[in-house]
Each structure stands twice: as C-alpha cells, then as structure tokens.
Amino acid sequence: MSSSTTELTGRSISSRIVLAIILACQLMIILDGSIVITSLPEIGRSLHLSATDLSWVQNAYSLTFGGLLLLGARAGDLLGRRRIFMMGIGLFTLASLIAGLAHSAESLLIARSIQGLAAAFAAPATLALLMVSFPEGKERMRAISLYSAVSGAGGSVGLVLGGILTDLISWRWGMFINVPIGIVIMLLAPRYLMETPRLKGRFDIVGAVTSTLGMTSIVYGFVRAASYGWSNDGTIVSFLAGAVLLTMFIRIEKRAEQPITPLRLFASRERTGAYIARLLFVGGMSAMFFFLTQYLQGVTDFNPLVAGIAFIPMSGVMFGMVYAVPGLMSRFGSTKLLIGGVIIALAGMTWLSRITLDTSYFPNIAIPLVILGIGAGVVFIPLTSSGIAGVERGDSGAASGLVNVAHQMGASLGLAILITVFGSASRSAADHPLFGATPHKQAQYILAHASAASITGSVIFLLLALIAVVVLIRKKPLDNRIKHQIEPNAQKAEQL
C-alpha cells in the first residue's frame, strides 16, 4: 500500500471518529431531554414526588439548557470550541452520575439543572466543530444529515431507551448510561478534534443574564399557569418579568460592541424562519411525546418497557430517512422538501390527535407514528441547513447556538403551553363523567380526553411551523426572476 493511500485511509478513519464523537455528544444531550419521560411514574414512586414536582424533572434540564445556550455558544467563540466542548462533557458526565445516585427530589433536580448547564456549553460546540471539521460539499452534507437525524430522532430514542431501562433495571440507568459514553468522548476528543482559534473579545455578561432570565421567566410563567391559572399573581409577574428582560436583552445586543447574539444573524429571512419553524415544530413533537406516553401507560395500561417500544416504528423511520433525504434535497431542493415534510408530519399528528378511550395501538397509533417519523425525518435536515445558511466563520458558534436554543426552548414552551390545555381538558372531562363508569374507567376517560386535546394543540404547533416555512423560508418566484436578471449583468461586469 502506497504512502498516499495509507494517508488517505488514515484521514478517512480520523473523520469517522470525529463524526462519531460529535454525534455521540449530541445524542447524549438530546436523549436526556426525553429519557426520563417514560420513567416519570417510577421516579415519582421512588422519590415521593407529586405530579407537579415531576414536571420539574423535565423542566430543570430544559430550562437551564435553553436559557444558557447563547452563553455557551459565545464561550466557544472566545475560549476555543474544543476546550468548551470538553468542559461541558466533563461536567455533564459528573452531573449524570449524581442524578443516577440521587436519593431525594432536591438532589435530582439540582443534578438535572447542572446537566442542562453543561449541555448548554457542549451543544453549540458540537455543530460548530462539525462545520470546521468537514469541508463544504458532499462530506459536510452527509455529516449534517447524520447530525440532524440524531437531533430529530434522539427524543423518540430516549423514550424507548428510558422505558427499557426503567422496566428491566431502574430509572437510574437512564442517567448512568451517560457516564461511560462521556468518559470515552473525553479520552478521544483531545486527539481527534481540532481546536478553533480563540477570538479576541469579552463576554457580554449583561446580555447573557437578561436573555437567560428572560427565557426562563417566560417558560416558568407557562408552567405556573398550568398549576395555578392565568390570573395567578405569580403567573402574571413571570410573564411581565420575561417580557421586560427580553426587551432589555434586545436593546443591550443592539448597543453591545461584542454581543452574545449578533442580531445580524436575524437579517436573513431564511435563518429567522428556520429558528421559528424549529421552535414550533419541536414544541409540537415534544409535547406529543409527553402526553402520548401518559396515554399509553395510563389508558392502554402499557408498562414502561412496552410504552417505550411503542415508539420504535417512529424512531426507526426517522433514522432511515438519513439515507433518503440528501438525494431528495438534490432532486427537489431543501425548501420544497421542508414544506413536504411538515405537511406529512401534520397529517400524522392530526390522525394521532383522534385517540379516544378505546383506541387500539394498531393501526390508530402505530401508523400515525410512522407518518410522523417520515415527516420529522425529512424536516430536521433542511431546517438545520437553513439555520446556519450563509453564516460567517466567526458567527458559526452563535448560529449553531441559536439552532439549539430554538430546539430546547421549543421543547420547553411546547410542553409548558400544552400542559395548560391538558389541565383544562381534564377539568372539562371530570365535569362530564361517563355514565355508570367505575372510578378507574373514569380516570382513564379523563386522561384520554385530555391527551387528545393536548395533541390537538401539537397539530396547531405544526400548522404554525408550516406557515413560518412558507412565509419566511420559501423563495418567491419573483425573487428567482430578479436573481436570473442580475446574474448575467454581474457576469458582464466582471468581464469588463
């Protein structure tokens, strides 16, 4: 074997290891947002948590993750993305160990919050490292496709894995599983990941604080409204505080010499549309996971293992789409594919929203999940590409941070908003009970009615995502005609 062939083979192996490191990190981060969902009833029994307390097992992670992502992205720009990546993974691994060992609600929630904080620093670095590790073209498109598939399907995989581990071993292994993976990543990263240049500048601390507290206040307002109502003083104060803080954040970013989030990233209609559409799409999907899991365990009497396995058709289809989407993008273009994917997912979600007390898993749940898997598998790849389209090298960390912010805040907001729908529908069903039903059957009826109403809310989220794609991302025919008129003139000017 010649030296050039050996060098080429070594480079190929190195690229695969780099991609494996990045995908393993992203999968861990996405998994932890959903792996606890199928194990929530068992966690509640183990740590004596009420239903309200259990919601914070999920929100403690998503709030700190979404709230601190912008700071994590900026830290990667200023201090080097590999360095921040390794710090984030190290802290995430330690927090996962603490969460698995938790013997009180307080220690679990603190550990989940630390996991979210660590993920906020590691996640933006993953996509930024991917961009600098793979050159533009076929190689980068393949890497982005795999990254998008992991980001999109990771949530449903977490549901399956959480159910399997909870039923066969313990819910604690949903946390412990991160430890060996994190250790392997820590050992491989220094050798295979290239460090990015450290940009000169300073941290926009005030911007980071106002954005984090503002987003947290908005999400907390929705969560509190689900428990105490929209007219509750705490709910109103939370929304007002969030609005004030986010307004302050925008004003600060406009004036800051080195903003944590360059507002120029929103100058592109395509990128802005991608962020909004992602927030809405993930919001609808994440809420559906939560409520359908409750339905499967509470109405159809699936145990955590079977409830997790019930999502395998969707997860399998989403991963399978990895190989189809690049070819479809070449044939139809990313925008047409994105619109088609959202429409397919919308059809699946609409069908799923028709669940009742007597709905069987097949065909009225399994087939809609497959349709959702096809749609979501198509959507996430072009959404990720649009979210980082045309970004300058120096802004890649901030842009990738916003992709993840949209993903995590969508998950938090979607669940928080639709929990209020769930509560309202539950009360309505309780006021109109089934005639002659046993208390157990009545409870199942209430859960089925509330779950259907909440998933109908997910339908609305996906419909709004479709509107955002069509209005903001879709290129108008007039724009294309202007482009065709300008390009020949530009070529003539270059010749002159």
The greatest distance separating any two alpha carbons of the chain, rounded to the nearest whole angstrom, comes to: 88
Q: Does the pLDDT value for residue 493 go beyond 80?
A: no
Going along 140-195, which residue ranges are E strands? none
Q: From residue 154, how far is each of 55, 149, 246, 424 by CA, in Å?
A: 20, 8, 30, 30
- Cα dihedral: 463, 469, 472, 478 (round 10): -120
Compare 339 and 32 and report the one with higher pLDDT.
339
Which pLDDT score, from 0 to 100, does residue 331 have? 87
3-class secondary-structure state, position 170: coil
Structure tokens at 111: 């550990």
Compare 460 and 14 and report the one with higher pLDDT.
460
Those residues with Cβ within 8 angstroms of residue 472's Cβ, 6 or more apart along the chain or in another chain:
269, 270, 272, 273, 276, 277
Report whether the peptide linkage leading into residue 363 is cis, meaning its omega lies within 30 degrees of zero: yes
Integer Cα distance of 360 and 188 in angstroms: 46
At residue 488 the predicted structure's pLDDT band, cuts being 50, 70 and 90, is very low
pLDDT, mean over the chain: 84
Q: Does the pLDDT value for residue 294 go beyond 80?
A: yes
Integer Cα distance of 26 and 298 in angstroms: 31
pLDDT in tens, 348-386: 999 999 999 999 999 999 999 999 999 998 998 888 888
At residue 8 the predicted structure's pLDDT band, cuts being 50, 70 and 90, is very low
Taking alpha carbons only, the member of 106, 123, 98 closest to residue 175 is 98
Taking alpha carbons only, the member of 284, 348, 295, 314 closest to residue 37 is 295
Identity of the residue numbered 36: V
Q: Does the pLDDT value for residue 476 go beyond 60?
A: no
Taking alpha carbons only, the member of 425, 98, 400 closest to residue 262 is 400
pLDDT in tens, 385-398: 888 888 877 676 67
Are the C-beta atoms of residues 182 and 90 closer than 8 Å to each other? yes
462: Cα within 13 Å, side-chain hemisphere: 29
Structure tokens at 137: 């073209």
Which pLDDT score, from 0 to 100, does residue 235 have? 92
Q: Let me know if 168 is exposed, middle or buried by CB neighbors in 10 A (0-12, 13-18, 19+).
A: exposed
pLDDT in tens, 88-146: 999 999 999 999 999 998 999 999 999 999 998 888 788 778 877 887 777 787 888 78
Which pLDDT score, from 0 to 100, does residue 483 have? 41
Structure tokens at 202: 């300073």
3-class secondary-structure state, position 360: coil
Q: Which residues of 322-334 are buried (b: 16+ CB within 10 A; e: fewer)?
A: beebeebbeeeeb
Are the C-beta atoms of residues 254 and 263 closer than 8 Å to each other? yes
pLDDT in tens, 43-66: 888 888 765 567 778 878 887 887
Quickly count: other Cβ atoms within 10 Å of residue 90's Cβ: 17
Percentage of the chain with pLDDT > 70?
A: 90
pLDDT, average across residues 403-413: 82
pTM: 0.82
Integer Cα distance of 378 and 372 in angstroms: 10
Are the C-beta atoms of residues 234 and 228 closer than 8 Å to each other? yes
